[in-house]
Amino acid sequence: MSHHCHDEHDHSGHDHSHGAHDHSDDLTPAIQSLLYEQVDFGAVNTLNEAEPRSGASILQKTYAQRLDPEPELQSDADEQLLMFVPFTGQVRLHSILLRTSDSASAPKTLKLYLNRDDLDFGTASDLQPTQQLDLAQTNDLQEHPVKRALFNTTRSLTLFFEDNFGDGDEDVTRVSYVAFKGEYMRLNREPVNFLYEAAANPSDHKVKGTTGLGMGSGVGGRDGL
């Protein structure tokens, strides 16, 4: 991304009159597809973080702050980190952006779990992940695509940083930036359900109560039939 920007500024001639326009075109797609405003920051929960709320803090970094060293998430008792990230609606996840380091404290294996708010280190270790990512040991920003078909109905994501490049010799895992790319799905289901129930309430329940269908007879039973 940044190379593209530099290239455009190097062509001094053509781009002089609308260099700023070209630069914004470069950044806009990256920012537009970021699921930043859709993260429920207040409900983020990170297990084994050395400093409380540091997991939420690195998620709250904007795209412009992606290379800032602070705040940083560090593991506490050992090298593992488990981060629960809920979204404010349903998203189609495309990729995960990360920045770590080229040191032994860089996480090595990242396991992703879809729509699970009940995981701890024991269950995450035993459970088959929705997808596993092999991370790079680098200072550069990493973007890891996910298998989109598996993440089309993402309401929350649990990130399990299972180990680091210290291979047992480094107890502290460090992550300085995490972000998500994808599409935000406005939940049309809510108004549809509301309209259906509003229309169904007055008469449909009585009709269904006489059909012998499971749901209809259940409603009929509650009405005292």
Q: What is the per-residue pLDDT for 166? A: 96
Return all residues near 209 (Cβ < 8 A) that are at least 6 apart: 216, 217, 219, 220, 221, 223, 225
Domain housing 172: 36-185
Token pair for residue 4?
């593209």
Question: Is 196 a member of any domain?
Answer: no
Q: What is the per-residue pLDDT for 183? A: 94
CATH code for the domain of 117: 2.60.120.470
The pLDDT tens digits along the chain (225 residues) read 434 443 333 444 444 444 333 343 444 555 668 999 999 999 999 999 999 999 999 999 999 999 999 999 999 999 999 999 999 999 999 999 999 999 999 999 999 999 999 999 999 999 999 999 999 999 999 999 999 999 999 999 999 999 999 999 999 999 999 999 999 986 655 544 444 455 555 444 444 444 444 444 344 444 444
How far is Cα 21 from Cα 222, in angstroms, rounded to an integer?
64
Question: Is 56 a member of any domain?
Answer: yes
Question: Is 205 a member of any domain?
Answer: no
Question: Is 211 a member of any domain?
Answer: no
Question: Is 221 a member of any domain?
Answer: no
Quickly count helices (H) and strands (E) in the chain: 7, 9
Question: Is 80 a member of any domain?
Answer: yes
How many structural domains compose the chain? 1
Q: What is the per-residue pLDDT for 192? A: 47
Question: Is 31 a member of any domain?
Answer: no
How far is Cα 225 from Cα 208, in angstroms, rounded to an integer?
12
How far is Cα 47 from Cα 64, in angstroms, rounded to an integer?
27
Token pair for residue 167?
């291979």
By the 8 A CB rule, do 175 and 75 touch? no
Question: Is 219 a member of any domain?
Answer: no
